[in-house]
Amino acid sequence: MRSGNHTLLTSSRRATQKLRLLASPTAASGSIKASTAAKMKALISVCIGITIFLIAARAASALAALAFHRLHHRPTASFFPASPSIPRKGYTVLINTWKRNDLLQKSVIHHSKCAGVNSIHIVWSEPNRPSDLLYEVLREAVHSNSIRGNNIELIFDLNQEDSLNNRFKEVKDLKSDAIFSVDDDVIFPCKSVDFAFSVWKSAPETMVGFVPRMHWLDNSNSSLDRYFYGGWWSVWWTGTYSMVLSKAAFFHKKYLHLYSTNMSQSIRNYATKNRNCEDIAMAFLIANETGAPPIWVKGRIFEMGSRGISSLGNHEERRTQCLNDFTAIYGRMPLVATNVKAIDSRSSWLW
């Protein structure tokens, strides 16, 4: 009897405790909160673990690639093989400027810090020669910013005539085959420029740049092939382009010679008269020589000025006229459209 009474008493006490727990909202809530907190901690721990795993995997992959390239004596700065016929040299920065010495100084200072630069040529078409003060300021900037003791040349290419064709005049005795043509009011990070240089070395006959544009066939008149100029938004919308503008692009130095001597004089006269479209003329020239499209490289652009030709009215209408006039001179449309875009995978997390 005592044993039975003890069992009943114990069961009764347990039931009473459960009833008290259920009857107590605070206790129940505390139990639920504790359980939820434990689950949240576990979830956060899992997320942190996955993140650490991905970072470690990415680092291991990068180290493996680095070890592979060192083992085979290849420069790790480029994932693109250089053409055997192209010497492993740097590139010449060809800056087109016009009465914007403040922007010119910023451009020279910036590009003198880039690892691949071996000379900077300034296309000077102003009626007055550059002052001694300007030259000394730029020379000192180049000297102080040149890295690893690299002696970068600074040269003013003086022109008596004010013409947009001056930016593509042949330059004698260049140190390198590669030309990086850039306007004085735009800057790209050195990492992006050097990556574009590595892309160019994989295809040195074509044009490699940061600013894509497109020619579109005008379907409104089926009896005659006419084209209209597609600006940045049409490229962004379709992912299609056929030109990269010389305001920021690499090309082989031989095209300076071909532009000045082999290209139709009527096209050079057109660019001088209309003060426009010399960049389209260069795009036509290279496409006509190669039969291939250019290569668009992803890069963040920093624009320092807003007084360029593109800020004038009817800009796209004038460019459309250039397309059709140049097509008539060539007797065909040489531009080739493409959807290819070069991206530096070392700095991109999205594939």
User: Phi, psi (5° rounding) for residue 139?
Assistant: -60, -45
What pLDDT score was predicted for residue 69? Answer: 38
Confidence label for 75 from pLDDT (cuts 50, 70 and 90): very low
Beta strand 341-342 pairing with 212-217: unpaired
Region at 244 (left for phi over 0; alpha for psi -120 to 50; beta for the rest): beta
* pTM given for the model: 0.74
Q: Using one digit for the tens of pLDDT, what is the confidence trace for 243-296?
A: 999 999 999 999 999 999 999 999 999 999 999 999 999 999 999 999 999 999
| Among the listed residues 57, 119, 293, the one whose alpha carbon sits nearest the alpha carbon of residue 65 | 57
Taking every pair of C-alpha atoms in the chain, what is the biggest distance, in angstroms?
124
Distance CA 193, CA 180 (A): 9
Terminal C-alpha separation, the chain = 78
Q: Is the pLDDT of residue 10 over 60?
A: no
Q: How high does pLDDT run on average in the chain?
A: 80
What pLDDT score was predicted for residue 307? Answer: 54
CB burial string 217-235: b at 16+ within 10 A, e below: eeeeeeeeeebbbbeeebb
Q: Cα 331–337–339 angle (5° rounding)?
A: 175
Q: What is the mean pLDDT of residues 12-27?
A: 46
Confidence label for 89 from pLDDT (cuts 50, 70 and 90): confident
Q: What is the mean pLDDT of residues 301-313?
A: 66
What pLDDT score was predicted for residue 47? Answer: 62
Under DSSP, the state recorded for 338 is B
Q: Is the pLDDT of residue 27 over 90?
A: no
Q: Using one digit for the tens of pLDDT, what is the confidence trace for 59-70?
A: 444 444 334 333
Cα distances (Å, whole numbers) of residue 61 to 66, 277, 345, 351 = 9, 45, 12, 15
Number of Cβ within 10 Å of residue 246's Cβ equals: 28
Q: Which of 184, 185, 194, 279 is catalytic?
A: 279
Query: Any catalytic annotation for residue 218?
Result: no
What pLDDT score was predicted for residue 252? Answer: 97
Q: Are the C-beta atoms of residues 211 and 244 closer than 8 Å to each other?
A: yes
Q: Which residue has the higher pLDDT, 163 or 80?
A: 163
